């Protein structure tokens, strides 16, 4: 699987290259600033990109803006964004095109290499991975806000895991219930959030997005 890596800190970039190579990824390009990233994403068209938010030249949200720009040229390009902080505002912007294949994680999740690599793979497969910190904020808020208030506790739990990018099977395993029950919960969630049944794979993305916008 070909990866484009964007990280301006040499040590961290080097470490991530080693880590990803150890798990059998091929590094297509490793860049250190925003413009180079857009260029690399558009020309290399990797299977997945791992991108740091804060990079030269502005050291602000360079990486984020590069991702949004590249995804306008290459719709649905899978990108896992890493950040020192996770902000709902940025999560909303990343998900806004509804195409999925987006991950947004705290940088320190890299320490747990197995679950980090797992997240990269899920994003590459078109899944959506949100950091638990974003999810917990969303859900804390959700209790008081419509239409989130309409969800049962169990449904909220399911949505939280769904937003972390897990499949129905994985959620079932985690909550120790059958996969069939999960399917029922998800369809209830979609219904309560007013997401039409259209055979669209990305209703999961839309569900998380609906929460972000609620």
Partner 1 sequence: MTNTNTTKRTSAVLEGGFWFFVMLVPMLLGYLALTLVLGLAGIGLGLLLLPPTAAYLRWLADLRRKKVHAWRGIEIPRPYRAEPEFGPGFKGYWGKIQFHGTDPAFWRDAAWTMTDPVVGALLAVLPIALVAEGLYGFVISALWSTLVGHGFNDWFGFVHVHHGNEGMRWAPAALGVLEIALGFAIAPKMLEWHARWSRVLLAPTPAQVEARMKHLTQTRADAVDTQAAELRRIERDLHDGAQARLVAMGMHLNAASQLLERDPEAAQKLLTEARDSSAKALSELRDLVRGIHPPVLADRGLVDAVRATALDSPLDVQVHAEVTGRLDAPLESAAYFAVSEALTNVAKHAHAVHVWIDMRVADGLLKITVSDDGIGGADLDRGSGLRGIERRLATFDGILALSSPQGGPTVVTMELPCVSSSPKTSSSSGTA
| Site residues, partner 1 (CB under 8 A) | 54, 60-61, 84-85, 87-90, 92, 108, 111, 137, 140-141, 144-145, 212-213
- Between 47 and 131, CB nearer to partner 1: 131
C-alpha–C-alpha distance, residues 96 and 111, integer Å: 28
Give min distance, CB of 172 to partner 1, in A: 27
Consecutive H or E run containing 169:
helix 168-175
Residue 37 CB: number of other CB atoms within 10 A? 28
- Between 58 and 187, CB nearer to partner 1: 58
Give min distance, CB of 184 to partner 1, in A: 30
Preceding peptide of 57 cis, ω within 30°: yes
CB of 70 within 8 A of CB of 77? yes
Give min distance, CB of 7 to partner 1, in A: 17
Give min distance, CB of 135 to partner 1, in A: 13
- Between 18 and 141, CB nearer to partner 1: 141
- Tell me which residue of 196, 191, 190, 182 sits closest to 208, measured CA to CA: 190
Give min distance, CB of 214 to partner 1, in A: 9
Q: At what angle do helices 153-163 and 179-192 cross, to 10 degrees?
A: 100
- Between 144 and 198, CB nearer to partner 1: 144
- Strand runs labelled E in 32-158: 48-52, 79-83, 102-106, 128-130
- Between 54 and 166, CB nearer to partner 1: 54
């Amino acid at each position: 699987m070909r990866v484009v890596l964007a990280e301006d800190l040499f040590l961290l970039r080097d470490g991530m290259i080693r880590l990803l190579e150890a798990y059998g990824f091929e590094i297509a390009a490793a860049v250190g600033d925003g413009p180079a990233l857009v260029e690399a994403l558009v020309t290399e068209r990797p299977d997945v990109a791992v991108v740091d938010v804060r990079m030269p030249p502005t050291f602000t949200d360079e990486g984020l803006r590069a991702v949004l720009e590249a995804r306008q040229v290459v719709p649905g390009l899978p990108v896992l964004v890493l950040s020192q902080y996770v902000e709902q505002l940025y999560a909303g912007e990343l998900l806004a095109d509804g195409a999925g294949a987006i991950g947004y994680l705290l940088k320190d999740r890299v320490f747990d290499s197995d679950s980090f690599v797992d997240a990269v793979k899920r994003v590459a497969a078109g899944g959506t991975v949100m950091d638990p910190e974003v999810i917990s904020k969303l859900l804390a808020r959700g209790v008081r806000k419509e239409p989130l208030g309409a969800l049962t506790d169990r449904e909220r739990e399911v949505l939280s895991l769904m937003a972390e990018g897990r499949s129905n099977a994985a959620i079932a395993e985690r909550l120790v219930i059958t996969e069939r029950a999960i399917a029922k919960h998800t369809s209830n969630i979609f219904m309560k959030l007013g997401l039409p049944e259209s055979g669209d794979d990305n209703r999961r993305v839309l569900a998380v997005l609906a929460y972000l916008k609620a």
